[in-house]
């Protein structure tokens, strides 16, 4: 059995290893590492032993079969200092208890009840767009998905809270992105000016969420997730801190990734008029999108293809909590393991013409399991994946039937890979009103 030192690797910096190059260009570095050294390669992150894995079978092995041998990676544990112990950051018995409590709210039959909220909020937002006036569609999708997830999960119309949630949320996310891309990151507990700003933002978020919880407690008869948690039996009931942690986690994870999937989907559709024409036809064939989302197959394929090319979550990290044999190597406890959706989703071994936007590849997919894993894999796969897909299809249909989005020319669509894969400067488009088809 080969050992960690036998892993193929690039010549890194003394002490820092691959950290400078990785921090400067994470996507490019991981792509080059994979091209030069294959599907299992050493990734030395400063003093920490690391391995880059871009192999569907090994992804399945680690995230599913050996999931009890790993925990969340070091950077995710840092995130817990900001988000608390929500589903993304918690471990062990606490995670299992919370997952069990939250899972029913995201069952397929349950999330269908949220489709009306998704549709109504999408119509309201799009109805406010002025034809032929440029807008940032990434910012618009962020606003829309935050409103949808907050209302669906809390039963509260968060319009009055939007700025008080969105602004501090942006401060927190930007701070964490700075930590991930810094060569010498300062942990959140170190009282730097940036960390103090983030702590102030978290405090504001806690205050707003506490007010939402109080508002819901005054009328807990709703059918939303928060109402169900408040009505739970005493032994299963979340305390206020647990409610706050999960709401904050779900607000962030539940809106950011869907907003990005939609942003990239709309960009790609605007660049491919034939696909756009077919989407318009499909939308018009199924105008009652809330009742017919299962018929919007091309819309679903477009969302999947957008997440393949531009995965909102572009990488996943785990840390070995015990020695393990993976991919022919004996890896010691403490090894950081990195999986990159960006690399695997674009691997020609699994996807023909991988850099082309081809939604039709999803008609009869041929890729192996876990060659496509935008929502993660194994027991810790995203609890809200069905919610996210339904929301993306509903919103995409409403946008496409109302407008053609014309990309602003010569804009810098620079990728910003930090917590998620964002357009660094937003995505500017001009909505062109689509002609209403007259009945024959």
Vertex 27, ends 246 and 172: CA angle to 5°?
30
Q: Quick one: pLDDT band at residue 27, thresholds 50, 70, 90? A: very high
Q: Look over the chain and give the mean of its residue pLDDT values, rounded to a whole number.
A: 90
Residue 439 has pLDDT above 60, yes or no: no
Helix or strand (DSSP H, E) at 102: helix 92-102
Q: CA-CA distance, 389 to 304, in Å (whole number)?
A: 9
Domains, the chain, in order of start with CATH, read 2-433 (1.10.630.10)
What's the burial of 141, exposed, middle or buried (CB within 10 Å: 0-12/13-18/19+)? buried
Q: What is the mean pLDDT of residues 420-428?
A: 94
- Most confidently modeled of 1-10, 140-149, 270-279, 377-386? 270-279
Q: Write down the pLDDT at residue 174.
A: 80
Q: Is the pLDDT of residue 440 over 60?
A: no
The pTM for the full model equals 0.93
Average pLDDT score over residue span 146-153? 90
pLDDT surpasses 70 at 415:
yes
pLDDT digits (tens, 9 = 90+) for 232-262: 777 778 888 888 888 888 888 889 999 999 9
* Average pLDDT for 148-164: 85
Q: What is the pLDDT of residues 129-138, one digit of tens each?
A: 999 999 999 9
Residue-level pLDDT at 127:
96
Distances (CA, A) of 167 to 160, 172, 284, 366: 13, 9, 37, 42
Taking the CB of residue 124, how many other CB atoms lie within 10 A of it?
12
In tens, the pLDDT along 189-246 reads 788 888 889 889 988 988 998 888 888 888 767 778 888 888 877 777 888 888 888 8
Would you state the pLDDT for residue 183? 66
Q: How far is CA 417 from the centre of its chain?
A: 12
Express each pLDDT in 331-388 by its tens digit.
Answer: 999 999 999 999 999 999 999 999 999 999 999 999 999 999 999 999 999 999 999 9
Structure tokens at 96: 């299992």
Contact 46, 23 (CB under 8 A): no
Q: Which of 165, 170, 172 is nearest to 82 (CA)?
A: 172
- Paired with 41 in beta bridges are 52
421 membership: H or E segment, kind and range: strand 421-423
CA-based radius of gyration for the chain: 22
- Spatial contact of 189 and 197, defined as CB atoms under 8 Å apart: no
**Any idea which of 154-168, 181-195, 271-285 has the lowest mean pLDDT?**
181-195
Helix (H) or strand (E) holding 429: strand 428-433
Strands (E), 66-172: 70-72, 135-136
Share of the chain above pLDDT 70, in %: 97
């Amino acid at each position: 059995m080969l050992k960690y030192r036998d892993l193929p690797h690039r010549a890194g910096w003394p002490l820092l290893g691959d950290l400078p190059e990785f921090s400067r260009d994470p996507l490019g570095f991981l792509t080059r590492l994979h091209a030069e050294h294959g599907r299992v390669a050493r990734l030395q992150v400063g003093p920490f032993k690391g391995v880059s894995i871009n192999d569907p079978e090994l992804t399945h092995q680690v995230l599913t079969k050996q999931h009890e041998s790993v925990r969340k990676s070091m950077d995710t544990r840092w995130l817990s200092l900001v988000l608390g112990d929500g589903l993304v950051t918690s471990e062990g018995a606490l995670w299992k208890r919370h997952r069990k409590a939250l899972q029913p709210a995201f069952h397929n039959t349950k999330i269908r009840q949220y489709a009306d909220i998704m549709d109504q909020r999408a119509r309201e937002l799009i109805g406010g767009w002025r034809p032929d006036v440029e807008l940032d569609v990434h910012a618009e999708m962020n606003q829309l998905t935050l409103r949808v997830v907050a209302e669906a999960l809390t039963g509260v119309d968060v319009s009055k809270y939007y700025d008080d949630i969105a602004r501090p949320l942006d401060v927190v996310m930007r701070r964490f992105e700075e930590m991930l891309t810094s060569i010498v990151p300062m942990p959140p507990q170190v009282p730097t000016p940036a960390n103090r700003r983030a702590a102030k933002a978290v405090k504001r978020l806690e205050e707003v969420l506490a007010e939402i919880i109080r508002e819901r407690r005054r009328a807990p008869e709703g059918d939303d997730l928060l109402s169900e948690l408040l009505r739970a039996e005493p032994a299963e009931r979340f305390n206020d801190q647990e409610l706050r942690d999960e709401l904050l986690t779900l607000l962030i994870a539940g809106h950011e990734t869907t907003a990005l999937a939609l942003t990239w989907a709309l960009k790609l559709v605007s660049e491919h008029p034939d696909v756009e024409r077919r989407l318009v036809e499909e939308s018009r064939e199924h105008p009652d999108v809330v009742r017919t989302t299962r018929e919007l197959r091309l819309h679903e394929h477009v969302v999947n293809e957008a997440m393949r090319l531009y995965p909102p979550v572009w990488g996943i990290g785990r840390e070995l909590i015990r020695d393990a044999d993976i991919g022919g190597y004996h890896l010691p406890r403490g090894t950081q393991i990195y999986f990159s959706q960006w690399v695997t989703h674009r691997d020609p071994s699994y996807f023909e013409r991988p850099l082309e936007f081809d939604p039709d590849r999803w008609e009869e997919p041929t890729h192996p399991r876990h060659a496509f894993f935008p929502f993660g894999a194994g027991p810790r796969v995203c609890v809200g994946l069905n919610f996210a897909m339904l929301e993306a299809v509903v919103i995409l249909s409403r946008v496409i039937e109302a407008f053609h989005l014309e990309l602003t020319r010569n804009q810098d669509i620079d990728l910003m890979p930090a917590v998620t894969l964002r357009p660094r400067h937003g995505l500017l488009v001009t909505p062109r009103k689509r002609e209403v088809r007259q009945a024959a």
